[in-house]
Amino acid sequence: MLPRTDQPNPLWASDPARYWAGIDAAVRDAGLDAPVLALDVDALAHNSADLVARANGVPIRIASKSVRVRHVIDELSRRRGFGGVLAYDLAEAIWLATTSGIDDVLVGYPTTRRSAIAALAGDDEAASRVTVLVDSVDQLDLIDSVCTPGRRAPIRVAIDVDASYRLLRGRLHIGVRRSPVHSRRDATALARIIVRRTGFRLVGVMSYEAQVAGMADAAGSAPRNRAVGLMQRRSMAELRRRRDRVIAELRSLADLEVVNAGGTGSIEDTAADPSITDIAAGSGLFGGHLFDGYSRFRPAPALAFGLDVVRRPAAGIVTCAGGGWIASGPPGADRLPKPVWPQGLSYLKAEAAGEVQTPLRGPPADRLRVGDRVWFRHTKSGEVCERADAVALIERDDGGNPRVRDVVPTYRGEGKCFL
Q: What is the pLDDT of residues 343-366, one digit of tens each?
A: 999 999 999 999 999 999 999 999
State yes or no: pLDDT of 108 exceeds 80. Answer: yes
Residue type, 347: Y
Give the model's pLDDT for residue 5: 43
Mean pLDDT of 237-242: 86
CA geometry: angle 370, 372, 377, nearest 5 deg: 130
Question: How many other C-beta atoms are found inside a 10 Å radius of the C-beta of residue 349?
Answer: 8
Distance, in Å, from the CA atom of 280 to the CA atom of 278, rounded to the nearest integer, reads 7
How far apart are the C-alpha atoms of 64 and 51, rounded to whole Å? Answer: 15
Supply the pLDDT for residue 215: 64
pLDDT of 175: 79
pLDDT at 3 over 50: no
Rounded Cα gap, residues 285 and 299, in angstroms: 8
Using CA atoms in the order 158, 164, 170, 174, what is the torsion angle rounded to 10 degrees? -160
Q: What size, in residues, is the chain?
A: 419
Give the orientation angle of helix 70-77 with respect to helix 90-99, to 10 degrees: 60
pLDDT computed for residue 217 by the predictor: 67
The model's confidence at residue 1, banded by pLDDT at 50, 70 and 90, is very low
Cβ atoms within 10 Å, residue 214 = 17
Question: Residue 286: its pLDDT value, please?
Answer: 95
247 contacts: CB under 8 Å, gap ≥ 6: 205, 256, 259, 275
Distance between CA atoms of 87 and 16, rounded to whole angstroms?
33
pLDDT at 57 over 60: yes
- Res. 2 pLDDT band, cuts 50 70 90: very low
Query: Domain 44-282 is of which CATH architecture?
Result: Alpha-Beta Barrel (3.20)
- Alpha-carbon distance 240 to 321, whole Å? 48
Helix (H) or strand (E) holding 60: strand 60-63
Rounded mean pLDDT, 237-262: 93
Interior angle at CA 65, CA 71 and CA 281, nearest 5: 90
Contact (CB, 8 A) for 87 and 158: no
- pLDDT one-digit tens code per residue, 275-297: 999 999 999 999 999 888 777 77
The rounded percent of the chain whose pLDDT value lies above 90 is 72
The pLDDT-based confidence of 208 (bands split at 50, 70, 90) is: confident
Domain ranges of the chain: 13-35+302-414, 44-282
Residue 38 has pLDDT above 80, yes or no: yes
Q: Is the pLDDT of residue 326 over 60?
A: yes
Is 309 or 327 the better-scoring residue by pLDDT? 309
Residue 185 CA to residue 359 CA, distance in Å, equals 54
Which among 283, 222, 253, 351 is positioned nearest to 65, based on CA atoms?
283
**pLDDT tens, position by position, 397-411:** 888 899 999 999 999
Q: Which CATH class is domain 13-35+302-414?
A: mainly beta
Would 13-35+302-414 and 44-282 be classified into the same CATH topology?
A: no
pTM exceeds cut of 0.85: yes
Region 37-48 average pLDDT = 95
